[in-house]
Structure 1
Amino acid sequence: NMSWRTVHEPSASEVAARRANVKSPGDAVGLHDSVKLSQPATGRYVRMLGKERRSFYNPAPSTAQFGYSLYEFQVWGTGGSASAAYPALPGDQSGAYRTTFFDDFTGASLDRSKWRVVRTGQEMGSVNGESQAYVDSTNNIRTQNGSLSLEAKYCDNCTVAGGGTYDFTSGRIDTNTKFDFTYGKVSARMKLPVGDGFWPAFWMLGSDVDDPNVSWPASGETDIMENIGYGDWTSSALHGPGYSADGNIGARQTYPGGGTADQWHTYAVEWTPTGMRFYVDDRLVQETTRNKLESTRGEWVFDHDQYVILNLALGGAYPAGWNKVTQPYWGLPQSSVDRIAAGGVKAEIDWVRVEQKG
């Protein structure tokens, strides 16, 4: 015996805009709605009432309607209530930090006892609408002058991987099965290529990401550093159930004093049982506590093993969302293709370190 009360419905102008948004089925991508209530509401149950289906050209000029596809429906608390019930936190770890993983890439080649080379069509499939195939080649992954180079290469329609054909190759390595760990300070000194759609990243994934009963984003993802081609800023982020993709918990940092991404900088996260703190050159750029995350966004899934990843992606969803490029590749303009073809588009990593307590 419950009485429902309406706490939100779209305005007439919002309804009209939706009705006018008619596309072909192939172009009608899913929409991500974020509704902020005009005033706080409390309740135990939430009901969503779908009142009208979207129209599609099928084929033009005729229109048709499909059924509903609701992939996810989330309700977040405000996090502002003094009476919010925070879960009991685990204790922070005691003791001093000690180095448990380190590579400064001074060997003649990549140390395979520390790193796994990831290949498109083998260890992973294509993701995020990116244009590169990851391959195991010294053209893309090599050590030189005491640092690791992950370099992008262009070759029109000549790389076959995982059933697809690619115009670009690049490098991705990780510590999965070599070094998976829980909690610690994770840092790397890096120099990045700057250009629209170049997407170097230093990040971590939950080690259970390949378990079909878990998968992404329930595995957790920790983005220590991402750059999508803008010289003056990088971003950090957390992804998990209820806060993934465009809805991640993230921050952008701008280098002070005119610094740029194509200079050497140190990027780090300190991961503890109670939160995550992200740094650029020892400057705090994002802090997300477990209390705040669980009271406002969703489950904290950073209490189990993760592994470290270094990669250089090309184009795809994140760069395209900023640079709005669609041709000749999504998020990757011709000027960037020309630079890759000319050679020298690479992310350089001087060293990677993990420090842990205990």
Structure 2
Amino acid sequence: MNQTPIWLGETMLTLPNWLISLAVFAGALAVAIMAHRIIFTIVTRFVAQMDLFWRSLVARTQGPTRFAVITIALGFAASLSPLTSGEAALIRQILLLCFIALVAWIATTALHIWTTVYLRRFKLDADDNLLARKHVTQTRILRRVGDILIVIVGVATMLMTFDSVRQYGVSLLASAGAAGLVVGLALQPVLKNIFAGIQLAVTQPIRIDDALLVEGEWGNVEEITSTYVVLRLWDWRRMILPLSYFIEKPFQNWTRDNAALIGSVMIYLDYETPIDALRAEAERIAAATPLWDGRVVNVQVTDFKDSTMEIRILVSARTAGQAFDLRCTVREQIVAFLQREHPRALPRLRADTTPDRSAGRAEAAPARERTAH
């Protein structure tokens, strides 16, 4: 066993090298953690009164900076420790893996910080948020794809540091016949959604907060991940759909180019309904509510039924939600107006109460004959 003499005053102690190395690494680790904590506390207090960007930057880099300080400290400890050649090679391999992981972590953090700074210019809570939804959707999808690529490259780089794995990879590439086909088939769903995510980010058939009609359900796009889409339905349920669904199947996007929509109200009324009065009332209702965007209000007779006529009222609103509320408002107030002002306009069944005179004459003839006799 390798031993190293340690002088304590006039006394000499002989300790094994592994114990000395362990003490050196433990001390380096403790010093690194303490130094990072002190420096991070000072930096946090320094940026406390600064802009939100700098506070977020410091908060997001806490983990990577701590890991970097620990890696550097362990590297110095490795150079000071009495290690054998095998132990030194193992420590260098571990530190190399730590350095690769640190680079991947820093790249991921930098990507998140950049996307956060970029998206600060766009507000999703605006009435006309088409441009904001476009950039938010693109940035979030590409950020998730970037995270996946960083992880794949980082793991691949770590594996390539081992000679056995590198040689296995070369032999696998040299004979990648059936094995490549099997791996491709196994990863088909994952790769399919990854490429679908890239296609969605470029073409953007859907965006964050888009109003969609999918599988007979209406809702807004709440989240787009690297593999699936979360649709927040009108009753607060969540519909989860794979990314490939929006590439392969048809769906309705109510806010593709513009958030404004035209809502329709269908009502069936009697033929005695005064259309001009109904049209004037619809215009008054639309003008009186803040839900109307001032663009479209129209009343038309679109069809005739056996006992009623079909009337369509069109009104426009700024968003899909406001269009739905506006349609409900128009329905309620139109019915109240007809009940109050024109009750005969409401649908009703008619019965012919006119007496049948021919039947009356037929009954009167026998009576006259009996009187004559």
Structure number with larger C-alpha Rg: 2
Bigger strand fraction: 1
Structure with larger RCO (C-alpha < 8 A, sep 6+): 1
TM-score (norm 2): 0.18
TM-score (norm 1): 0.19
